[in-house]
Structure formats: C-alpha cells, structure tokens
DNA sequence: TCTCTGCGTGCATACGCTTGCATAGAAAGG
DNA sequence: CCTTTCTATGCAAGCGTATGCACGCAGAGA
C-alpha cells in the first residue's frame, strides 16, 4: 500500500504507465526496459495494489462460492474448488448460505467477485434468481434449480440412487427402506426418485414406515434407525441418500447391538473419505466431485469471459463402490 | 457495476458526495434527504462498488485465512471463523498453504485483505516472518511460531497431551506408546512433550519402538498400527496426537482383528465430530476451537484497528472427553 | 537530405467511491 | 437589520492502476 508504481517509475527513470506495461508483460516493451523496471520494483519491494487494479480493469479474478456450512460436504467441495480455481489464477471467497440474504447479494453484486458457484440451491432461496436477473456469471454445483436458467454441474443422482437400491436388491434383500434427504434439494428429490425407480422395476414395494425424509445429516440416520428399532419397524436394508446419513445409521445400529451388515444392510451415497473409516466399510455410490468441480469452473470461466448462450447442464456419471455394508447375512 | 452513486445523485437531485454520506449514515444529513437518496438508490437497484470503496478507504473488511487444505481440521476452523468474522461484518478469503509462496505473499500483501489468520505455522514457512516484517495484521491460530513475534491463539497442547497420557496411566496401562505428529508444528512438539511429561511423572518409560512420529493423518495411524503389529511391538495403549491418527489406528486395529479397547486402548486429541462416529467412541482431549477462533478474531481486529503492542499469546484450556477407547481390558 | 514507418514512451483520463474544505442559506444574537 | 454561528450540501482531490492516444525519434526508402 505504500510503495506504488509511481515510485517504481521514478526509481527506474520511466513513466508510471511504462512500469505498468513492463510489469504486466505488455508487448512492445524492450527487454532492457523491462529489466530495469523489474529491478527497481524488486529493490523497492513493490507489490501492485489488487484493489486499484480491480477498479481499473473492472475484474477481480475472484470467484465466490456459496455453501451451506452446516453440511460437511462443503469442505470437500471448497478444497477442490480452490485448487481448480488456482490453476486458472483465480481466488476464492467464501459465502455462507445461512448469512443475511441482503448481505449475500450485496457481496456478490458489489463487484468483489467475477462469478459465483452455488453449491446449495435449496428451494426457496431466491439467490439463483437474483444472480440470473443481474446477469452475474453463475454455475450451480451439485444441485440445480429447475426454475432458473443457469448453468449447472451435477452428478447423475437419479441413476446413482437406482444403482444403490439395485445393489441391495441383488444382494437378495427384499424388505428395503430408505432414509432420504430433503425434497427441497434437487439431490434429495432425484435420489428419492432413483430409489423408487429401482424398486418399481423389481416389483418390490417399500413399506411407508420404512421410508423417511430428513436432513442430509448424521443425526437423521442415527435417529431414524433408533426410532425404527424402537417401533419394531426396522427393515433388512436401508438406502441412505448420502454417506452422512449412512454413518449415522451405522452408528445407531451398533449402539443397538445390531450387526452391519447382517442385521441391517446399508448403502450410502457420495463416497466421502469417512465412508472408508468406520469399522464396517460403507458401500456407497461415488460422486466424481473432482470432475464436477472441473466442469463447474470451466462453465463459469466461459461465462466470465463472455459466453452468452443458454443454460447448460453437465451431468456426471456416478459409480458404485462395493465395500461390505450392503451384504446379506 | 453499471449504476453508480452518481446516477443515484442525479435521480435524487443531490450531489454524489451527499449520496455517499447519506448511504453511509454520516451525521449531519437530515432524515428527509436520507430518505430521498435511499429511495432513489432502491429504485435504481444501486449497489455500491466494493472495489472503489476499498480503494478510497484503504481497507477491505476482508480477512484471509491460510490453511492446509490437506488437513481435515481446516474445514472445522474455516466454518467457525466465517461465522465469527461475519459477526464483525468481515469477509473471508481462503488461501491454501500449498500454493505458490510468491502468490500467497502477493495476495496477502497486495492489499486484498486487512489481516491474516494463519492456521498452519509449519516450521520452514517464511510466511509468518514476511507478514511480521511487512506489518500485516496477523494472528497465528492453533499453532504458533516461536521465532516470530506475532499474536497467537492456541490450545494448551502440552497440558492436554499430559492429561491424555494420564488417562491411560490411570486406566492401568503401563506399556504405553504414542503416535505423534510432525515436530515441525508447535502442536506436534507440545503434544509430544506433554506425553513425555506424564510418563516421566509416573515413572513409566515408553519403549522407543512404541513411539512414532508422522503426519497428523489417518494414514499415519493406520500404517503405524499395522506395522507395529507386524513387528510384534504393539503396546497396550497408544496416545495419538490427534483424532485423525487415532481413527486410523482404530481402523487398522479392527482390520487386524484387535478389539479397541481390550487389545489396544486409544486416546486422541481435538474432539472432531468424527470422534463420536466410530463404533467405539474415541476418548480424546477436546480443543475449544470456538473460543480459539473468537479470540483469534479479537486479536486480529485489534491489530487491524491500530493496536501496536507486543505479541500476545492466548492459551485456551483443553478438556478430556472420556468415551470408551481408553479403557483397560 | 527529406519524408515515411514504426517502435518505445509519456500524458492524461477513467474506474467509483470517500472525505477535507469551502460555501450558501438559515437560524440566532445584538 | 446586520453580523455571527450553524447546518446542509457541493466541489474537488485523491486512492493506485490500466490504457487510448499522441508524439519523438531512429532507421528506411527515395
């Protein structure tokens, strides 16, 4: 903040604009001049002001990610997004979904970021709509919003859930239940739909008391299994709409003295690193987060650099990971 | 970026500076004028440019956090830091430690942030030193750097490790080993020291083959136990320098058919939410991350707002959480 | 020797906001 | 009714960089 390009200019005996051009690698500056400027800059410990540059160029090389900080998934997403953005020399600003909506909007629209990645398109949030109306480059990640015409990079949740349910069917289970996510999220809806697809195909019916909706949380899985057991309505196998739910279910089962699998078979969804931790390996559906982030960033940068076509949706295939929690006794 | 305060000024029939003052709540602007300006701003959908404001005020209300994205702990820290900063109307920018050092420095020093929280003061990183020399408001979180005079908010790692080892001693274990962290981190060193404190006090000695250094990772715990078992040098109990190591150790033990506790007792450190997940509850030392972040933010904001005193170190007490993994057969 | 290119550089302005200083008009005091 | 004191507002100068345009000068061509 102290030493400016003007200081460097004086030290190098050139004008401020030459300093700018030399340092930014503009064509038409002879190597000798560049060297002199570089030296002067280094000698003075000159560091250009991002803020002034941003103001002058009307761009920030910064992307915001809106996440639900209560969902452990975000940490996985953010870490990878960071790396992916770094490859393109973009920076990352975090915005929590649970913040003041006004504040979120002003942050995004205040020009502190060139684009936004929204990993939490819960129904009811008007953020996607606002972003669309204001023409802020935006990509929905992991979840999409049917009603807003925005780019999205998502997993094939419906097909994945169908595979998950099939794994249980093929293992020979028939009394199959499901711990589903909230239907406010596209992931919740699609994974529920996929589950029902598979059962319908197999001509199997899930008892209503075996199917529960809840948050994508450890606690949902834990309480659901505890309550089902108490009510004596525990099925043989449970499809859990994500790994957190499955881990919670596994935990509850263990506390009840139930073996997994054996007494209760489980299949999750996501393939968090944690899925490999529990003492019983969790069978799950792997979501290719890395790929999803890569295309999310690609979509976003295209928007930022001027692409104006209609909304695109990239759907990534998912893949079953068979460990042991799905087996039949 | 389109509609500026000048547009609002014209619409409201006042000057641009009046718009600025009215919207920023400066004293001496009559309510009537404020109302007119507000209305005009709302009608035009005016959103002030953060960048221009930043440039004019030489402040950004933004804090950077430098984290090690390979360490799962960061997600816990970042989430809470976000909230804590939000309370003070500050924004958060993420910087990964594994990035290009040049780039990290230029980011931090380029004036895009008012201050920095470093949660990864590994020895060898010259970042703390640079920040100190440049007089960038900085607070070290979780780990500190002995050689650089910076504020820090840390846990009482040494005392915590001592409690952890004592838990094992008091449970009656005598053949106690430790899976320690890297000595490049203050947490690694202090937790190792605390472990040795407790053993020395009790007059117990740890066999060299029972003590291993490694990363703060699941993999370290996993491979250490696997290798010790293979070599026939497994102790009765292990102090793990953090929960990730403990979870890895527990996982390996299970694969080897060893019961935890019983065949192998474990105590961890941190009390991650995950510590409660495994089928055997992990006994651990709870680190008050929430408190640590609160004081880290307080320290930082004081620096940002001009405090110039010497370095302060806030040490937070830790607390044992007794589940079952520490028991004796 | 005199234009004509073209390269290297500088001048000046823009980016959108904050803020010290000046001023016009209203209120207060004599 | 005039001077003094506020009050409300406007003017204009930054903040530090990027960049269109103009210009000087050297070498080329005639």
The number of C-beta contacts closer than 8 angstroms across A and B is 120
Residue span(s) of chain A under CATH 3.40.50.2300 come to: 62-155+289-317, 157-287
Instruction: Supply the pLDDT for residue B112.
Output: 86
CA–C1' B25–D12 (A): 22
Mean pLDDT, rounded, of chain B: 91
pLDDT over 60 (residue A121): no
A281-315, pLDDT tens digit by residue? 899 999 999 999 999 999 999 999 888 899 999 99
* Strand D close residues, chain B 39-68, CB < 7 angstroms: 52, 55-56, 58
Give the A window 60-89 contacts with B, CB below 8 Å: 60, 62, 69, 72, 74-75, 78-79, 82-83, 86
Contacts of A218 in chain B (CB under 8 A): 273, 277
Contacts of A75 in chain B (CB under 8 A): 72, 74-75, 78-79
A160-169, pLDDT tens digit by residue? 999 999 999 9
- Residue range A201-229: mean pLDDT, rounded: 95
pLDDT over 70 (residue B272): yes
CB proximity list for A119: less than 8 A, separation 6 or greater: A65, A66, A67, A68, A73, A74, A77, A140, A141, A142, A143
DSSP letter string, A246-269: HHHHHHHHHHTT--TTTT-EEE-S
Identify the architecture of domain A5-57 in CATH: Orthogonal Bundle (1.10)
CATH code of B157-287, in short, is: 3.40.50.2300
B30-70, pLDDT tens digit by residue? 889 999 999 999 999 999 999 999 999 988 899 999 888 77
Mean pLDDT, rounded, of chain A: 91
- Residue range A32-58: mean pLDDT, rounded: 92
CA–C1' A122–C23 (A): 55
**Position B115 confidence tier, pLDDT thresholds 50, 70, 90:** very high
Query: Could you give the CA distance from residue A52 to residue A4 in angstroms, rounded to a whole number?
Result: 10
Percent of chain A scored above 70 by pLDDT? 98
- Residue range A141-151: mean pLDDT, rounded: 88
B226-259, pLDDT tens digit by residue? 999 999 999 999 999 999 999 999 999 988 999 9
Decide if B55 touches A, using CB distance below 8 A: yes
Decide if A204 touches B, using CB distance below 8 A: no
Decide if A3 touches B, using CB distance below 8 A: no
Query: Could you give the CA distance from residue A157 to residue B171 in angstroms, rounded to a whole number?
Result: 48
Q: Mutate which of B1, B4, B53, B112 to disrupt the A interface (most A C-beta within 10 Å)?
A: B112
Residue span(s) of chain A under CATH 1.10.260.40 come to: 5-57
Tokens 């004086």 correspond to A10
User: Of A247, A163, A182, A147, which Cα lies nearest the Cα of A155?
Assistant: A163
State the fold for domain B62-155+289-317. Rossmann fold (3.40.50)
Contacts of A279 in chain B (CB under 8 A): 250-251, 254, 278-280
Instruction: Supply the pLDDT for residue B122.
Output: 63
What CA dihedral angle connects B80, A82, B88 and B121, to 10 degrees? Answer: 70
- Lowest mean pLDDT segment, chosen from A225-234, B93-102, B208-217: B93-102
Decide if A313 touches B, using CB distance below 8 A: no
Tokens 């040494």 correspond to B158
Instruction: Supply the pLDDT for residue B1.
Output: 65
- Residue range B89-115: mean pLDDT, rounded: 85
Q: Which nucleotides of C are covered by protein (CB under 7 A)?
A: 7-12, 14-20
User: Positive or negative CA dihedral for A37, A40, A43, A45?
Assistant: negative
Contacts of A82 in chain B (CB under 8 A): 69, 94, 96
Instruction: Tell me how far the alpha carbon of residue A133 is from its chain's centroid.
Output: 23
Which nucleotide comes closest to B15 if you measure CA to C1'? D10
């Amino acid at each position: 903040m102290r030493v400016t390009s003007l200081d460097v200019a004086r030290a190098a005996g050139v004008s401020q604009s030459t300093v700018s051009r030399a340092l930014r690698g503009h064509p038409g500056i002879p190597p000798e001049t560049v060297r002199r400027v570089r030296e002067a800059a280094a000698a003075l410990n000159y560091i250009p002001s991002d803020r002034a540059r941003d103001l002058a160029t009307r761009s920030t090389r910064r992307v915001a990610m809106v996440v639900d900080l209560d969902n452990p998934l975000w940490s996985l997403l953010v870490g990878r997004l960071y790396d992916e953005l770094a490859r393109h020399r973009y920076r990352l600003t975090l915005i929590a979904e649970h913040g003041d909506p006004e504040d979120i909007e002003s942050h995004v629209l205040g020009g502190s970021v060139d684009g936004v990645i929204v990993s939490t398109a819960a129904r009811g949030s008007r953020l996607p709509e606002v972003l669309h109306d204001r023409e802020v480059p935006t990509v929905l990640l992991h979840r999409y919003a049917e009603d807003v015409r925005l780019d999205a990079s998502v997993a094939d949740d419906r097909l994945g859930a169908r595979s998950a349910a099939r794994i249980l069917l093929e293992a020979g289970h028939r009394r199959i239940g499901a711990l589903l996510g909230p239907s406010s999220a596209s992931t919740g809806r699609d994974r529920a739909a996929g589950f029902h697809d598979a059962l319908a195909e197999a001509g199997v019916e899930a008892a209503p008391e075996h199917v529960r909706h809840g948050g994508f949380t450890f606690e949902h899985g834990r309480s659901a299994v505890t309550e089902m057991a108490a009510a004596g309505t525990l099925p043989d196998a449970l499809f859990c709409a994500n790994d957190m739910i499955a881990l919670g279910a596994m935990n509850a089962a263990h506390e009840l003295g139930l073996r997994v699998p054996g007494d209760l078979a489980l299949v999750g969804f996501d393939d968090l690193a944690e899925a490999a931790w529990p003492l019983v390996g969790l069978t799950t559906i792997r979501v290719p987060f890395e790929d999803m982030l890569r295309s999310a960033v690609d979509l976003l940068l295209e928007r930022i650099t001027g692409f104006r076509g209609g909304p695109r949706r990239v759907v990534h295939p998912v893949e079953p990971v068979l460990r042991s929690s799905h087996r039949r006794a």
